[in-house]
Structure 1
Amino acid sequence: MFHARRGAAEYQQVHGTVSVWLPSLEARAAALLGDAAGAAAAVEQAARRREAVEPDDLDELGGLLTFPPQKELYYRVETQVLLGQGATGTATGAAAEQAVAAFSNPDAPYWAFGDEAGARCNLAVVRLHDDELDGTVDALRPVLDLPPAQRNRGIVVSAQRVHRALGHSPARTSHLARELREEITQYAPTTPPATALPR
């Protein structure tokens, strides 16, 4: 949160999409700390910055140096999920569905497998708020099916968030919930083999 705020303060002259990225990062960090007011303020700031975006040289480069509306949506949903808010019948629930839809097309210029996985994990947690266990499994299955080489730390942390939510769900004692929790427990990235030092 400190770094996002510092970046925004030191680069106030930046008006490209990175200016939206910084408060979006701050919102997620505030949510992780349980600061609901700080998270809401950062989300609002991101929305204001979005309205004032003027594409710059970083946006022209594209790729990871841009922050399109779809990523802002994903970050906003994750902020709400981290705060323990949202269910399928709420605005957060609808936004979670939209985020997954946005990141389900690998041909989209902003697509990244990590963002799709994160959006799916967020939707899984949202569905658990309504005890939609089957819907949770549907959202999470493509994440659990990722090859080990793609299971980076961010994706594993997101999957573990679903694991924790399952532990608090009224459905936690069901056979399906126990199976899902066990599968997430085993879910981890592949550690590259240690290379022998030359003698």
Structure 2
Amino acid sequence: MAEGSNLGPETLQQLYSEVERISSTYPRSPIHHVLGDLVETQDVAFRLLEGRQRPNQTKDLYLLSGLLSLMLAKASHDLGDPHSAMKQARTAYICADNAEHDGLRIRVRAQQSLMAYWAGWTSEAARYADLGHDLATRHTGSAAVWLMSQSARSWASLGDGERATEDLARATALQDDRESDDLDGLGGLMRFARCRQLYYGAETRIWIPGQEEQAEQAALTAIEAYEEAANTGSDDWAYGDDAGARADLAFVRATRGELEGAAEALAPVLELPVGQRVAGVIASTMRVHSALRDRQYAGSRVANRLRQEIEGYGQAPAAALTSGR
């Protein structure tokens, strides 16, 4: 009985492979293409935890269960359900504690902060980022850069440009000095790529008065990096963050009265199919919509047409595909 186990090495390896596949595929695929596999694999992992296995296998199962719960939290967030997303993220953090894995802990904190940020709970976003600060070291891989980059845009959205700038500087220092951890090797969602860091830097700067030029340049650099990743087939490419960088560029241009430039930047985002219109992307486009409501655009037919296009876009989110509407 002491040697008994419900988990063989082949089963564990198959679970690792499936987690790696989903992590890599998720950022590049419509959400309804991966959601079923994600739910099924999480169910398998938790059912295995209910059985008997050796202690080292149990830790591995908790790590895998935590990763799957984290990705499911992101899925709920992408589908516009922040409350379910937060519950699943708490489950992921419990698994990270049971697995004693700092790399997973900090990824969960970064994801919790991200979800709160897009839900409009900006103080909560900053709080979750602060909870992960002590874990942000060179040894927690690219997740440390993610946490600090997320912290930067959270504090910027709260009006603390000085704190945001400090966090961006720390993110850059960590990027230059980091050591990849085991979860970076999964790629996709688990690796905070350089292009994603550039996007977060652009988004941080759109909140800071007087940094419009820096925000525009950062957004352009991020878009170029994502285009390169897409052209090379790298799993660093993510349609959601690519769209976010383009929406940030459109927002900066719209606030400066550059309507044609804003429309040009936003055009590829508005062409995304319904399955890729996740909550963060829609929120980014609605931010452009708010800029187009400025009095400088009163009476502009072009601005009015773009506003209507954004409104129609937001009325057909990815959640509509998974809910059967």
TM class, shorter-length? 0.7 to 0.9
Letter in 2 for 1:135: G
Q: Distance in 2 between matches of 1:165 and 1:140?
A: 13
Q: Pick one of 176, 180, 186 that aligns with 1:55.
A: 180
Q: Distance in 1 between matches of 2:270 and 2:136?
A: 39
Letter in 2 for 1:125: F
Q: Is residue 44 of structure 1 aligned with residue 169 of structure 2?
A: yes
Q: Distance in 2 between matches of 1:108 and 1:194?
A: 31
Whether the aligned pair in 2 keeps the contact of 1:34 and 1:83 (CA below 8 Å) is yes
Q: Pick one of 80, 84, 90 that aligns with 2:205.
A: 80
Letter in 2 for 1:131: G
**Aligned to 1:57, what secondary structure does the other structure show?**
coil
Q: Paired residue for 2:157?
A: 32
TM-score normalised by length of structure 1 = 0.87
Deviation track 1:1-55 (CA, whole Å, cap 9, x = no partner) reads: 2212212214546341111111101111112222222211211111121121112
Q: Paired residue for 1:117?
A: 243
Q: Distance in 1 between matches of 2:164 and 2:256?
A: 24
Letter in 1 for 2:203: E
Greater Cα shift, 47-56 or 6-15: 6-15
Whether the aligned pair in 1 keeps the contact of 2:193 and 2:236 (CA below 8 Å) is yes
Whether the aligned pair in 2 keeps the contact of 1:15 and 1:52 (CA below 8 Å) is no
Deviation of the 1:164 alpha carbon: 0.7
TM-score normalised by length of structure 2 = 0.55
Change (3 A) 1:82 1:169: farther
| Structure index of larger Rg | 2
% identical aligned pairs: 38
Deviation of the 1:172 alpha carbon: 4.4
Q: Distance in 1 between matches of 2:309 and 2:242?
A: 19
Q: Paired residue for 1:93?
A: 216
Q: Distance in 2 between matches of 1:156 and 1:66?
A: 23
Q: Distance in 2 between matches of 1:104 and 1:55?
A: 24
Letter in 2 for 1:22: L
Which segments of 5 or more consecutive residues in structure 1 lack a partner in the other structure? none
Deviation of the 1:63 alpha carbon: 1.6
Q: Distance in 2 between matches of 1:51 and 1:122?
A: 25
Aligned length: 193
Q: Distance in 2 between matches of 1:15 and 1:47?
A: 15
Change (3 A) 1:151 1:37: same
User: For the aligned residues, what is the CA RMSD?
Assistant: 2.0
Q: Pick one of 168, 178, 181 that aligns with 2:304.
A: 178
